[in-house]
Amino acid sequence: MVFVDDDANGQVIAPKPGATTQVSGQAGSPISYTEVDALQGVPNGYQYVSMTAPAVFDSNDSVDQIITVHVSHHMTTTQITTERTIEYIGAGGDTPDPVVQTITWTVTKDDVTGDTTYNTTVPGYPDVPSPVVDGYYPDIDIVPALRPAPDEVPQSSTVTVTYEPGEVVHVVYIDAESGQVVTPAVGAQTVISGPSGSPVTFTEANARAGVPTIAGYEFDSWDPVTTFDNDPTVDQTITVHLTHHLTITEITTTRTIDYTGAGDDTPADVIQTITWTVTKDDVTGDKTYTPQTPGYPEATPEDVDGYHPDTDIIPSLPVTETDTLPQSSTLTVTYIPNTTVPGDQKVTVVYFDDETGQPIPSTPDGLTEVVGRPGTPITVTPDDIVPGIPDGYEYESIDVPATFDSDDSTDQTITVHLIHQKVITELTTTRTITCSGAGTSTDIVQTVTWTVTTDSVTGATTYTTTDTGYPEVTCPAVPGYTPNPGTVPVLPVPSSTPDKPISTTVVVTYDKITIAVKTGGTVQHDNALTLTGLASALLIGGLAIARRWSRSN
């Protein structure tokens, strides 16, 4: 019997002491060596794999037969956990809490050689940006990622980040069109700290990386700060100006002049088109529709023998830029058989838009003419007119001649005066003043109520209000902090505007109050100092209080 180590390229190893190493028997008889016998010979640290054995004894006395037992190394698997602790020091009560990162390792030990390997399913400890602490800067901006070496025994470790007093620069993103502060993209750098006089390592590339393109903004310009100043009482600001991205598309509307009433002689419909440029503000979602032509042109109905149209001219329909989706429309011209009795007089009914000063076509069911004998009364009432009033209009008045005249050369006219229906709704806008930065955040919400008047014919909308605007607001006082700005000024609003009002947000940040105490010609900055000497000046928020005193030993 030969035991071979499959993990050592088939190297022959000694079986366990006392194991059967050979068997004998008559030629042709079965060899009675089983897997159970082989297992008894597997040495410590190994495990049985397989066995190759002849079935019977041969008759060759010169060469012994061989039974080969294959074994492999047994592996013992356990787990360990290592940690990387990132501790922060130097910022007093504002010092960040430690960050503890962990990695779980699978430990595999070869029970034959004693070799041990350590494996993990994670790439290592990830990098950790040092938290921003106002008035301080860390000696390590980002603790780098760490991948422990695979051939080393994993060890826990500690990294210390030290904060030093310094200056602070805030990065603020502003909507250049509304003047409002915009929340930057996730992960954008918004605070930079460093020692006075050192370069501010914030570039235009950093500014562009913070543009919230998902919200529809794009980079316009920025106001850089190149060097940290030496004024710890006021933070510096880098302003990134953003504009609204505009998406340009096109749509087409039509005005169909539908002719009817003359049977097979009825003229074909006329379709007029207008192409509109659609400009969408990707921030607000507002759309503006700008016509590429001034409107639908005037049209004249064709002459049809034996018929006359209910209108002699289809007037032009001007269009202008609008924020309401333009709609296609259909105008019906009806041909009426010429059945007037000789001597009768015809009175044409004209529907007139008093707000544009233009005649308009009636509905297909509208009254377009009346016929009667000269000198007889013309009995047309508002009720006769209502079926002919187009959608979006409402009846205002009617001018009706008293009687039919006797002038065959000129038809009389009944003028129906119409005005545009107005849809009245309400809209409320807000100015939200967020006071934050002193450990709490308070929202002050102001409102303005608008009356929204929409013209049902043109789609034009006007916004009016009796409010004069948003009043001045002072954020609540917080001990130890100064609001910036201290007062949010009045924001007036127009009493009437065609532009849709929008809500706004103002952010008021509380800044810590720094106390400067002058003793012996030296200015010290601290929260609590013992004042000595002949004179000391305590400066708090710009108010100087001078006191003199003496102290005896």
pLDDT at 434 (0 to 100):
92
Say what the pTM is: 0.40
Tens digits of per-residue pLDDT, 133-163?
Answer: 877 888 888 999 998 876 788 999 999 999 9
The DSSP secondary structure of 190-257, one letter per residue, reads -EEEE-TTSB----HHHHHHT--GGGTEEEEEEE---B--S-TTS-EEEEEEEEE-EEEEEEEEEEEE
Token digits for 9?
A: 């390229």
How far apart, in Å, do the first and last CA atoms of the chain sit?
Answer: 102
Kindly give the pairing relationship between strand 481-484 and strand 491-492. unpaired
517 pLDDT tier (thresholds 50, 70, 90): low
Among 360, 398, 363, residue whose Cα is nearest residue 379: 398
Name the residue among 465, 488, 464, 467 with its Cα closest to residue 476: 488
Q: Kindly provide the residue ranges of all beta strands, DSSP E only, lying in 354-399, ordered along the sequence.
A: 358-360, 369-372, 393-399
pLDDT category of residue 552 using cuts at 50, 70 and 90: very low
| pLDDT tens by residue, 162-216 | 998 888 899 999 999 999 999 999 989 898 888 888 999 899 999 999 999 888 9
* pLDDT averaged over every residue in the chain: 88
* Structural Rg of the chain based on CA atoms: 46
Confidence of residue 543 (pLDDT cuts 50, 70, 90): very low
Average confidence (pLDDT) over 31-39: 91
Mean pLDDT, residues 349-374 taken together: 91
Mean local confidence (pLDDT), 361-368: 90
Alpha-carbon dihedral 54, 57, 61, 63, rounded to 10 degrees = 10
pLDDT at 549 over 50: no
What pLDDT is recorded for position 522?
52
pLDDT top residue among 151 and 483? 483
pLDDT tens for 53-108 read 999 999 998 999 999 999 999 999 999 999 999 999 998 999 999 999 999 999 99
Q: Domains in the chain, ordered, with CATH?
A: 2-73 (3.10.20), 76-165 (2.60.40.4300), 167-244 (3.10.20.470), 423-512 (2.60.40.4300), 516-548 (no CATH)
Q: For tokens 């006007």, what's the residue?
A: 462
Provide the sign of the torsion angle of the four alpha carbons 125, 127, 130, 131, taken in this order: negative
> What is the pLDDT confidence band of residue 342, given thresholds at 50, 70 and 90?
low
Cβ within 8 Å of residue 350, ≥6 positions away = 359, 413, 414, 415, 416
pLDDT of 29 higher than 80:
yes
Q: Could you give phi then psi for residue 6, rounded to 5 degrees?
A: -65, -25
